[in-house]
């Protein structure tokens, strides 16, 4: 199974489009789960993001590894998922 986590904040203007792209592409694959984490609402998640060096939202993790720190292109998300599935 592949887990994609989108680290976001409630006031981030780029987070909704990033979430939409990730969810759309993830739906093309079996065994891919998308989770959204609001780091401005969850102190534990915020601390984890700080420890990971996250300084920008949206940040998109695939299997706990930072893959994107922006709004990704659909094709880039597709490639990243395929790469993760190969492991």
In the chain, how many domains are there? Answer: 1
Q: How many beta carbons lie within 10 A of that of residue 71, not counting itself?
A: 17
CATH code where residue 32 lies: 3.40.30.10
pLDDT of residue 87: 80
What is the model's pTM? 0.94
Q: Per residue in 47-87, pLDDT tens?
A: 999 999 998 999 999 999 999 999 999 999 999 999 999 98
Q: Per residue in 23-51, pLDDT tens?
A: 999 999 999 999 999 999 999 999 999 99
Residues spanned by the domain of 16: 2-86
Closest CA relative to residue 8, chosen from 28, 63, 17, 26: 17
- Can you say whether residue 82 is alpha, beta or left, with left for phi > 0 and alpha for psi between -120 and 50 degrees? alpha
């Amino acid at each position: 199974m592949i887990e994609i986590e989108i680290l976001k904040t409630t006031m981030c203007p780029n987070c909704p489009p990033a979430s939409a792209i990730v969810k759309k592409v993830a739906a093309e694959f079996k065994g891919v789960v998308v989770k959204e984490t609001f780091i401005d609402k969850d102190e534990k998640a915020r601390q984890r993001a700080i420890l990971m060096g996250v300084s920008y939202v949206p940040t998109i993790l695939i299997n706990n590894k930072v893959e994107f720190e922006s709004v990704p292109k659909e094709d880039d998300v597709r490639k990243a998922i395929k790469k993760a599935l190969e492991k």
